[in-house]
Structures are given as structure tokens and as C-alpha cells.
Amino acid sequence: MSDSILRRKGQGRMLEVVLAVVFFTALIIFLIFFFSANQRQSYAKQFEQSKNLQASALAQVILNMPEIRCEVQNCIDIYKFLAFKEGVGSRKIFYSPAFGAYYTRKYAYNITLQVIYPEKGTYTIQSGQGNSSTLFEFPVNVYNATSERYSFAMLSVRVYQ
Amino acid sequence: MRRAQAEILGIAIAVVILILVVVIVVGLSSSGPKKPDVVKEVTYSKLAWSFVNAIVSTSYNDGGTIGEALAECGINNDNNVCAAVNNTIETILSASLKKRNEQYSFTAKYGDDTVMSYDKIDSCRNTNYGEVVISTRTGIPLKVGLKICIR
């Protein structure tokens, strides 16, 4: 067999090998991109869930604070809440264990109590603002010792990060 | 020789495509959005019960609560009492759940009789239900329930 025929045959086989390598490399790259995009979505969802959990945990902390709650379950005493609103700003270190690590890690929150029925009013405790936030809302009763009434209200906790 | 090689290459490509499809399907089914969001379900479950509990414990007119007014509506079936308490509950739910674009249905049953019912759920895949049972002076329980659509 002549030299040129052998060379051509060899080149053809090399081309086959190169094509196969290119094909499998492209396949692997495609699979890596596909699964990493899938994983990214899954992580984003988990991150969103953990932010919601933080906001709902903070709402539970607030609802169970003896400084503001009344004797009934899921109830806030409006006078205690107003007194707490005045005092919380000047006692940040004292309240930092109650609010988890929100103060120390420079998290900020916004607590709003919107009284809907029969009395009405909106009361807010704010400790700062941020770019992204998670909102958690919870129905509560608000007790007014003067009128001796329990009102329906929504407690909104917005955690900024 | 060439024909045999081409056939082998064809089979190899078919096998590769089959493997690719299987890998994609397995990948999607294992990490897809079908996993139940436990946090959300627990939150909504607690939310539905807390809504009903807060509504029935709210003061109504002079002295009583909305729960007691609902019980009176069930016992006496007085249209005026029922209409007034119905309006109050609708006001509360509109200012809370409806304002936040939540879909819900509210029911109050005195024994087997439906005292109050309204359904604001258009289409919903998954709902969560919370119920509070109130004892009445007749001994027949009043069951107040709220169903909230999980988004």
C-alpha cells in the first residue's frame, strides 16, 4: 500500500476521534449548564423559604414577649405595645437576645400593628431600612384596657436584609 | 466495512440520545418544584386557625364577642343579628385577607345547619383549613372554619 493512502486513512480515523471528543465534551458542558441552572433555582427557592422563616420566627418572638402580650393567646395589649415602642430604641442591647441576632448582624425590621375592627389605628416600630425585605403578616387580637375591648388586628413584620 | 461502521455509529448516537433524555428526566423529577413547601404549609395552617380564633375572640357591640353573636345567630336564627354579624365578619376579612389578595372561604355551622358561608376561592390547587369549635348554651357546638388557598 502506498504512503499517501495510509496517511489518508489515518487522517480519517483521527478526524473520527476528534469529532467524538468534541461531541462528548459538548454533551458534558450542556449537562453541567443544565443541572447548575436547575440547582440555582432550587437554592434561590430555599433562600426565599429561609427568609420567610426568619420573618415568621420574629413575629412569634414579638407575640410572646411579656412586654406586649396580654393573657389571651395571640393577643397584644395596645398600651404595653405603645410603651414598648417608646422604649425599644434606647434598649437595643437589652432586646438583642429577644430579636435573635437582628441587631448585632445589622438586620433591620419594621413592625406594624394595623387595628381593623371595632377600633382602628396603625402603630409602627421601625429599626431601619434596607433594599430587599420579607413580609410576614399574622392576625392578632389587640386589647384596649380603657374600652375593655378586643379588636381584630394584623401584625406585619418586615425584615430587611 | 464502512457500512458496518456507519451502523455502529448510528446505534452509538441513539444510545447517547437515550441516556441524555433519561438523565434530564431523572434530574428534573428529583429537583423539580414538586417537593412540598413544608414551611409554607405549616405557616398557612397556623394562619387559618389564627384568623378564625382572632375573629371569634373580637369584641362585638357591647360586651360580647363575634363568636357569641354567631352562636346567637345559630340558636335564634334572627335575621337582623345574622345580617349584622355577617357584615362585621365580611368587613374584617375584606380588610385583612382580601386586601392581601388571598383566596378564602368562611363557614359557620351550628350543629348541622349552616349559619354563614361565603366562598371567595376561584381556583386553587392546595388549601389549608382552620376550625374553632365554640360551645353554646344549648349544648350544640358552633363550628367556625376558614379555608385559605396556599399560593
> Could you state, in order of their start, the residue ranges of all structural domains in chain B?
1-31, 38-149
Nearest C-alpha in A relative to B28: A38
C-alpha distance from B45 to closest chain A C-alpha (Å): 12
The ipTM assigned to this model is 0.76
Nearest CA to A159 among A135, A138, A137?
A135
pLDDT of chain A, 161 residues: tens digit per residue = 577 777 788 888 888 888 888 988 898 898 888 888 888 888 888 887 777 777 778 788 888 888 899 988 789 999 999 998 888 877 777 776 666 554 555 556 788 999 999 999 999 987 767 777 888 889 999 999 999 999 999 999 887 76
Cell of A47: 433562600
CA distance B93 to B145: 13
CATH code for the structural domain at B38-149 = 3.30.1140
- In chain A, the residue whose alpha carbon lies closest to the alpha carbon of B46 is A138
What predicted TM-score, i.e. pTM, was given to this entire model?
Answer: 0.75
- Report whether B75 contacts B136 (CB < 8 A): yes
A4 bridge partner residues: none
Task: Name the residue among B128, B134, B85 with its Cα closest to residue B109.
Answer: B134
Q: Which distant-in-sequence residues (6+ apart) come within 8 Å of B136 by Cβ?
A: B71, B74, B75, B110, B142
Q: Are the C-beta atoms of A97 and A103 separated by less than 8 Å?
A: no
